[in-house]
Every structure is written in structure tokens, then in C-alpha cells.
Structure 1
Amino acid sequence: MWSNSRWRAVVAAAALLATGCQNASAGFIGMPSMLGSVAKRISFGNFTLPPMAYTQFCMRYQDECKEERIVFRGGPVRLTEQRWADLKEVNNTVNSSISPEPNTEGLAAEKWLINPARGDCNDYAVSKRSQLLARGWPARSLLLSEVVTSWGEHHLILVVRTSAGDLMLDNLTPQIRAWTRAPYRWVRMQTPRNPNYWAAFGNRSVTG
């Protein structure tokens, strides 16, 4: 059981995750091999607390937060034609099946739900991760990531680590993009070794 001081710290960290998240219609860029040098991988910073809503998510969906019971090899998933088809299908299915419903009630109403009828960015991100896990993708390659948009809104996306670089599945755009293609400030992200450990990024931003 966590101490009261640590719980307060988690609550403070979770308060950063904002509430308004919009949806986008489905569509995709070409194979990541066409992205050239922009398809790079993100480097991690220091460990940090996960969002409190993530802790609640793990209480609701315990299987989604299990550490992989295999020797960690650390390498990215090879992006085969079938893997690319998986990404496109899951991205399209989730973006089209969840109707956007921004959370206007703040942290107290924050819920990360898998495949709800209506939801915000958190629900899109965890639903995509869950569906890819069900298709056999390793958890180490599917990392929930908190960013800040150019208009100052905290936003949750799914980063997929592949041999073509780190790619984003993001409900704000219909495209599957290299992480360097979004004008976001990166806040924190799950680490590949254990989904319950998150790393911070300081003030790292991408402008291209």
C-alpha cells in the first residue's frame, strides 16, 4: 500500500493530464520505409510517476499492465507487411468506433476505458494498445505516451516501437506518423521493460 505522501504525489502528477481530446477520420500515410530519416526512436529520460488514471486503469484491466514473462531482448519489432496491416486496421477501427466525448469534469471523472462507445484520447490510446496486444504484439513495443499539444492541452497517444522507428497512433490525426512529425512537447511515456514504469522527457519538444 502506498503512503499518503506518495499518493498525493501521484495525484499531482496525474492532474497534468488534460481532459479535452478530439477524434479524426481514418486514413494513413504510406509504409514507414518511405519516411526516411525522420523515422527515429525516442530516447528516454529519468523515471517518473505514471498518471493516477493509469493506476486506476491497471486496477480495472490487470492483464493490460502485466510485465512480459520473457527475457527482455530490447530490440524493436520488425515492421513486416502484416505488422503494418495490423497498425492500419487497428488505428482505423478504433478511430471510427469510438465517438469523441471530451471529459469536461476534470481528474475526478478521468477513466481510461477499452473500446467504449464514447470516449476521449485516453480511451482511444488504451483501446489501440489492447487490440494490438491481442494480435500478438509485445507489450515492450506499445507505449502509452503523454504529450502536450501546440495549444497547451495534455493528450495521450500510443507510440509503437518498430524497426522503421517510433510511430504514433493518435486520434487527433487520421495518419500513422513518425513521432518527429507531430508538434508536441513530450512529457512522459511507458518504458519498454515494464509498462508500469514511466520515464520523463523534461521539456523535449518536436516542431517538425
Structure 2
Amino acid sequence: MLSIHHNLIGTALAALVTLGGATAANAQGSVGIPVASLPAEASGDARAPYAWTDFCKRTPSECRTDTREPERIELNAKLWKTIVATNNSVNREIEAVTDDEHWGVVDRWDIPTDGKGDCEDYALLKRKRLAEAGLPRRAMLMTVVIDEENAGHAVLMIRTDRGDFVLDNKRNAILPWSQTGYVYVKRESQYRTGWTSLGGAQTPTVASVQR
């Protein structure tokens, strides 16, 4: 499980900003790609999760930021189909286990090559496979949120010209970030090897597209 200090949760909850989202009926366009939605804006530097820093020491190639790559993906039906298929396949393939069960530690980030992992491991594998499919790694950001159980959770945020979308191991539906019901704490920076704050923005849940 992703660890977040209680003070961080308190800070995020104190900074809630309610954001509107598209209705469930408008979540996907008629041409097979999502209807455009507002992006998630960063608001300054943030401390990287300890387990991410440890992961980067072990696997530096997964953490480098190449500023020559585009910040956003120009989304089309083919790319969206690839993103959806990757999200579904990883959610189906990986067995959900806690880091304590898996590694005997509170928090460890890794590519789940043994077929087991928790939230951040799902996200790391999705990013790796999408990068191998040709999507720019710079536009795919590990993101820390507070979930519906008031616990730390990690997802993959994909930044596109149609808004920012979340790939999540809790659901197969890929939602605009503003429809997930999460509190957004921080994500990877697109400008350096580091993290940036998302200001504790709170989002409503669109229940009918949860799965």
C-alpha cells in the first residue's frame, strides 16, 4: 500500500477544490476517443514518495524525464484503443497483493514481473508497456491521490490534448481525472526528475462509469 503521512492528508483535505466534470453520457466521444475535459494543473514542487526514490535508484531508466518528448499526447482513436487495452490487460494480469505480503515492507514500488503487486506496481507496468508501444513517457505521470477510503493510492495520469485521464487498478473505465472522486496530492514533474504538487484538488465521482 502507498504510504502518505497523516499531515499530508490533512494538508490535502484542507485545500479541497471541487471541480466539475462531464456527465457519464459524455465521457466518450462518438469517434471512439473521450470528450475533451480540463487538465489537472500543477502548483509547485512536492517531495517525491520515498519508495519512488528507491525505485528510481534501482531502475533509473524508468524515472528519467526527456524534455524533448511532448508534454501531451495528441489523442486519436488508435492511441485511445491502445491505452484502453493496456489498462484492461494489466488490471486482468496482475494479482493484487500488499507490499507487506509481497516484500515484507510497508511500501515498495516495482515493475510487477512476477505477476503480483499493488496500485503503484500496476501503474508502473502500464506506463512501461505504453512507452514500449511508442507513447511519450513524459506525458505519462505517476500520481499520488487520496482515495475513497481516505488512504494513499497511486494511479497513472496520461496527459493528452483532450485533457488528463487516469488509469487505475480499481476500475477498468478510464476516466478524466476530474471524475474519479479522488483528492489529488502530487504527480511526477514533466520538467525534471522530481514531483510537483496538485494542491489537494478534490473531484466528484461519476458512479455510472466506475467499471
TM over 0.5: yes
Q: How far 1:115 moved relative to its partner? A: 3.1
Q: How far 1:150 moved relative to its partner? A: 2.0
Give the letter for the 1:101 counterpart.
V
Structure 1: tracts of 5 or more residues without a match:
1-13, 19-28
Give the letter for the 1:119 counterpart.
G
8 Å contact kept, 2:146–2:185: yes
Q: How far 1:139 moved relative to its partner? A: 1.8
8 Å contact kept, 1:17–1:155: no
Matches of 1:36 and 1:81, distance apart in 2: 12
| 3-state DSSP of counterpart to 1:92 | helix
Equivalent residue pairs, number: 181
User: What does residue 16 of structure 1 align with?
Assistant: 4
Match of 1:79 among 75, 78, 86: 75
User: What does residue 88 of structure 2 align with?
Assistant: 92
Q: How far 1:202 moved relative to its partner? A: 3.0
Matches of 1:32 and 1:121, distance apart in 2: 31
Q: How far 1:36 moved relative to its partner? A: 3.9
Matches of 1:62 and 1:82, distance apart in 2: 30
User: What does residue 102 of structure 1 align with?
Assistant: 98
Structure 2: tracts of 5 or more residues without a match:
7-26, 206-211
Q: How far 1:109 moved relative to its partner? A: 3.8
Q: How far 1:141 moved relative to its partner? A: 0.7
Q: Deviations over 1:140-162 (max 9, x none)?
A: 21011000012211100000001
Is 1:60 aligned to residue 75 of structure 2?
A: no
8 Å contact kept, 2:67–2:191: no
For residues 1-208 of structure 1, the aligned pairs below 5 Å read 15-16=3-4, 30-31=28-29, 35-36=34-35, 39-68=37-66, 70=68, 74=71, 76-104=72-100, 108-116=105-113, 117-194=115-192, 196-208=193-205
| 3-state DSSP of counterpart to 1:202 | strand
Give the letter for the 1:201 counterpart.
L
Q: CA RMSD in A?
A: 2.6
Q: How far 1:32 moved relative to its partner? A: 8.7
Matches of 1:204 and 1:162, distance apart in 2: 19
| 3-state DSSP of counterpart to 2:199 | coil
Matches of 1:141 and 1:67, distance apart in 2: 10
Q: How far 1:107 moved relative to its partner? A: 9.3
8 Å contact kept, 1:168–1:179: yes
Give the letter for the 1:85 counterpart.
K
